[in-house]
């Protein structure tokens, strides 16, 4: 049984279905008055003598007399070009740049060129910024090579070509200005060519299915036996191992209650809508170039552990039963660690309540004790404590509830975090 990935070629269209075809491995040139093939060869070809290739390819009888308006097809491989570059705009974790066959730790701001490669390990992320403003995000466990990164002298046409040998890539491509511009991302068995769009493609090894989801722009997806499907923005496609395929509208953005609230607990945790399956990603910027984490959540919550203090963005995509990921919802949130925990125990001098926590800045503690339920006025309500314990020697028999709050003063702001209420029963011996 063949995988769809063995034959699929994904062709992205300019901004809507029905746009001109993607640039092929040749560039078109419209002849103007005074053009000759020998002059053309000296100006645009690596070797002037290669004008004969153009002559034969286009059926030109007299290289010195070409009708004005003739459209020449010129192979990209023989064209002069200026090298373009790709700058590493973000690097996180174990990312290696392979230059001249030697792998070294990649660094933010480093410039890569044609023939270089990038390797990310587990939990590592990188982003490349291209000369035209396009971006390619490289997730964890990915090997990607730069096959072409050039600007041809003929028409200043761009040619960006990447090879993903392992993992995946997400591209946000600036609208290409010329029909001869080309942006491609290859995998071992597929080519994704885009002309100004935001989309992702994935292969699920567990289900042996391929997916494509379009946020902006549009795709024309060519399957086996010449079958073509149009995929406009807001739609996704899934293809099974036997080649059968279907499309469906992307699920709407997830509404995550409290997603933008301050995250000051021991870990960064988000509660998701009931029974929602989702991909949740965190980055330091709204464009998700500086991605720091990515999780698949299926139990109504997702925990990212103890992230460093800072300002972050969360992106959530609901996952449909088909496996197609929905439209993204993006939230901004602030992380300021201010954890607090406490304990209570009997001592000779009475009941001892102790507490402590973690967090930067100036920390002060609040302590509350209620007799009976917590709806009334606290029996004890102490604020602004520097000490990390309090002793109460006069508690009468009964049921109590207590909690500790940590108030953090940092960067000109104050925020509080409270423990959950703990129950305490006082009874005579």
pLDDT greater at residue 195 or residue 261: 261
For the whole prediction, is pTM greater than 0.75? no
174, pLDDT greater than 80:
yes
The answer to whether the CB of 380 falls within 8 A of the CB of 368 is yes
Mean pLDDT, the chain, integer: 87
**DSSP single-letter state for residue 52:** H
pLDDT above 80: residue 193: no
Q: By the 8 A CB rule, do 350 and 394 touch?
A: yes
Q: What is the rounded CA–CA span in Å between residue 317 and residue 209?
A: 18
Residue 130 pairs in a beta bridge with 86
Q: What mean pLDDT do residues 262-268 have?
A: 94
Tell me the per-residue pLDDT of 219-240, one tens digit each, with 9 for 90 and over.
767 676 666 777 788 999 888 8
Amino acid 310: pLDDT: 94
Residue 6, pLDDT score: 37
Backbone angles phi, psi at 37, to 5 degrees: -70, -35
Main-chain dihedrals φ then ψ at residue 5, nearest 5 degrees:
-65, -15
Residue 48: its pLDDT value, please? 95
Measured in residues, the chain has a length of 429
Q: How confident is the model at residue 9 (pLDDT cuts 50, 70, 90)?
A: very low
Q: How many CA atoms are closer than 13 Å to the CA of 135, on its beta-carbon side?
A: 15
- Tell me if 309 sits within 8 A of 337, measured CB to CB: yes
- Write out pLDDT tens, residues 340-390: 999 999 988 899 999 999 999 999 999 999 999 898 899 999 999 999 999
pLDDT of residue 196: 62
Q: What is the mean pLDDT of residues 20-37?
A: 80
CA angle 52, 56, 57 (to 5 degrees): 115
Mean pLDDT of 229-258: 88
Estimate the crossing angle of helix 51-58 against helix 37-44, to 10 degrees. 130
107/99 Cα distance (integer angstroms):
13
Question: Structure tokens of 401?
Answer: 């509830």
């Amino acid at each position: 049984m063949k995988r769809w990935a063995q034959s699929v070629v994904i062709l992205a269209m300019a901004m809507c279905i029905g746009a001109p075809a993607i640039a092929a491995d040749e560039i078109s040139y419209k002849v103007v008055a005074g053009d000759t093939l020998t002059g053309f060869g000296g100006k645009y070809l690596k070797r002037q003598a290669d004008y004969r290739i153009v002559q034969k390819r286009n059926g030109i009888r007299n290289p010195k007399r070409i009708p004005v308006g003739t459209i020449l097809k010129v192979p990209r491989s023989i064209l002069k070009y200026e090298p373009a570059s790709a700058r590493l705009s973000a690097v996180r974790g174990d990312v290696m740049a392979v230059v001249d066959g030697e792998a070294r730790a990649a660094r933010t701001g480093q410039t890569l060129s044609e023939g270089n490669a990038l390797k990310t390990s587990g939990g590592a992320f990188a982003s490349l910024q291209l000369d035209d403003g396009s971006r390619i995000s490289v997730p964890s466990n990915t090997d990607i090579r730069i096959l072409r990164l050039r600007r041809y002298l003929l028409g200043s046409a761009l040619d960006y070509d990447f090879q993903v040998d392992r993992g995946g890539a997400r591209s946000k491509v600036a609208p290409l200005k010329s029909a001869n511009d080309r942006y491609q991302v290859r995998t071992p068995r597929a080519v994704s060519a885009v002309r100004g769009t935001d989309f992702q493609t994935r292969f699920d090894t567990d289900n042996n299915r391929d997916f494509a989801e379009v946020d902006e722009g549009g795709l024309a997806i060519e399957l086996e036996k010449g079958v073509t499907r149009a995929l406009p923005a807001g739609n996704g496609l899934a293809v099974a191992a036997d080649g059968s395929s279907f499309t469906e509208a992307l699920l709407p953005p997830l509404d995550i209650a409290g997603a933008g609230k301050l995250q000051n607990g021991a870990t960064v945790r988000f509660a998701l809508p009931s029974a929602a399956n989702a991909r949740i990603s965190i980055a330091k910027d709204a464009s998700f170039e500086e991605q720091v984490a990515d999780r698949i959540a299926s139990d109504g919550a997702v925990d990212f552990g103890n992230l460093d203090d800072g300002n972050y963005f969360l992106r959530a995509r609901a996952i449909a039963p088909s496996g197609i990921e929905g439209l993204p919802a993006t939230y901004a949130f602030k992380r300021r660690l201010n954890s607090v925990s406490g304990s209570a125990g009997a001592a000779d001098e009475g009941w001892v309540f102790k507490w402590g926590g973690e967090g930067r800045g100036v920390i002060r503690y609040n302590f509350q004790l209620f007799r009976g339920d917590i709806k009334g006025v606290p029996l004890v309500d102490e604020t602004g404590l520097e000490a990390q314990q309090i002793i109460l020697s006069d508690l009468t028999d009964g049921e109590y509830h207590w909690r500790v709050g940590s108030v953090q003063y940092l960067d000109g702001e104050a925020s509080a975090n409270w423990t959950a209420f703990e129950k305490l029963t006082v009874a005579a011996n």
